[in-house]
Structure formats: C-alpha cells, structure tokens
Amino acid sequence: MNKIISNKAIKRREFWVEEIRKLSGNFGNDTQKLEKELAAEFKKNGVFSLIDHLRLCGNIPESYRHDTSEEKLYSKYTDCLLSLSYTSLGLKSLVLKERADAADVEVFAKDYSFVADAKAFRLSRTAKNQKDFKVQAINGWKRGKPFAMVVCPIYQLPTSSSQIYQQAITQNVCLFTYSHLTVLLSYSELEGQAKAQQLLKTIFETIKAINPSKNATDYWLTINKVILSFSKKIQRLWDIEKGVASESIAVAKDEALTYLAQERETIMRMSHQEALKELINVHKIESKIKIINAISDNKLFTLK
C-alpha cells in the first residue's frame, strides 16, 4: 500500500522544526517572523502544503527542552497553522498576540465568529489531565462569541470516558482534531469554501444538541456522522485521513526515537565526569522510549 504522507512532507516537517529553533529568542519578533514565513509558504505552495503541516504538527519535538523559547514558539506555530486553515476555508482569521487569559486565534465568518486554540503534546508526555486541553479556559475566552474550538492531535485524545467531553458539550466548545480539520480543508478544495463553511457551522451547532456525557464514543460518533452525512464526497477524503492517522504516529515515533537514540549515544560517549552530570537524563530517555512505543492508533476515525 502506498504511503500517503510523502517524504516531501516529512522533509517540510524537519525544516520547520529547525527553523523554529533558529527563530526562537525574542518571542514577540519571532512570532511575527514565523507568521510571515508560514504565510509565504502557503501562498507559494497552496493548501496541500498546509495539509502536510496539519498531519504532523501534533507532537512537540523531543529535541526542544521543556519551557524553552523553542517550545513556546512551537505553540505559536500550531496557532498559525489553525489561522491559515480557517483562512483557507474563506474565513477571516488572526493570531492574537496576547499571551495569557485569552484565546490564541480569533475567526470571523459572515454570520458568526469563534475563538480557537491549537494543542500539541510530546509523545513522551505521561498522564494528561483535563486542564491540558483548556476546554473550560477557552469557554471563558469567548468574549461574547458563540463558539470555540480546541484542535488536538487525534492520538492524544481520551477514547473512553473523560470530563473534557462533558465540559465541551455543556460549554459549547467544539473538540476537534487536526485529522478532522484536514478533511474540512480537502472538502473545501473539492466542493468550494461556501460548502466547507456550511459544514463547519453545522458541526458547531451540533455540539449544542449533544446530550452532555463523559463518553468519548458518543461524542465522536456524533461529530463523525455529521461530517460524513454532509456529502457523499467526504467518504473518500475520510478514508485518506484514516490512513494518515496511523502513518502520522509512525512518523512522529521515528522522529522522537531517533533523537533520543542520538542523545543516548552522546551521553555514552561522555567522559566519566560529564556522564555523572547527565546520568538522570539517561533514565528519563528510557522511560520516554517506553511511552512512545506504547502509542497506537485509537481508531476514532472508524466510528461512523
């Protein structure tokens, strides 16, 4: 079976991981540079380059240290991708410069508006709690707007029972994934922005009609059925992204495990004194490898 995620897409990912590392230093200026560079790439290469980004952006590179300028800029990178995605759907969108107590992206349609936030996690991250998804927080950041959207990597979402689903339904926040967003972009290319916008509004309005529950299956069955029933042409796009969901995990694992293997080799080649200083990191690397190897396709895309 032919791979859907191309080598070109993986190379694009590698380029931007390094580009973010080079840009990081002055957060305000770096964010503006990042926005301009991404917008220029999108203008040059079109929506399919944006889809390449969305398929692989959900994992924070292991090569970025915790709480560093690279990690913070990576968060803005995913926000910029969201904003460009909404723009590609024909909406007006901007990335906000505020850094606390506000949503990261504002979006304006003809007859409604919403705020959005992009989430990314390290593959080696252990337990995630409801606060990591910021559902309650973004509800408070609507500032009078009727809707909100939190976009997450599909393989990091709870698949059984979680309070985030009940919070999303009761507070009218759409939990979405980069996979679902990619389907929307592909559909927009196929049948036009107007229909894609109509589908997006239908998804938002559906959230209000779901019976509040912590059940992940109930939530995703409803969302997936709404999307698939909107047009017969979506099924083919859906099948493509279902394959991508597994491929993206494999790409993310390879990136993370390659880096950690290189880190381990660097440590093993250290002098005795250098090795003593880094000893604790060896143990962290081993635990991260176990966590990454345990990640698998959660089959949310098979619910229909």
pLDDT score of 98: 66
> For residues 105, 77, 158 and 239, what is the CA-based torsion angle, rounded to 10 degrees?
100
Per-residue pLDDT of the chain (304 residues; tens, 9 = 90+): 688 999 999 999 999 999 999 887 665 678 888 999 999 999 999 999 999 999 999 999 999 988 888 999 999 999 999 999 999 999 999 998 766 677 899 999 999 999 999 999 999 887 677 788 889 999 999 989 999 999 999 999 998 899 999 999 999 999 999 999 999 999 999 999 999 999 999 999 999 899 999 999 999 999 999 999 999 999 999 999 999 999 999 999 999 999 999 988 887 887 877 776 666 666 677 778 888 888 888 888 888 7
Residue 66 φ then ψ, to 5°: -65, 140
pLDDT score of 276: 67
Tell me how far CA of residue 223 lies from CA of 177, 204, 214, 269, 275, in angstroms: 11, 10, 15, 51, 51
**113-118 and 147-152 beta bridge pairing:** parallel
Q: What is the pTM of this model?
A: 0.89
pLDDT score of 279: 67
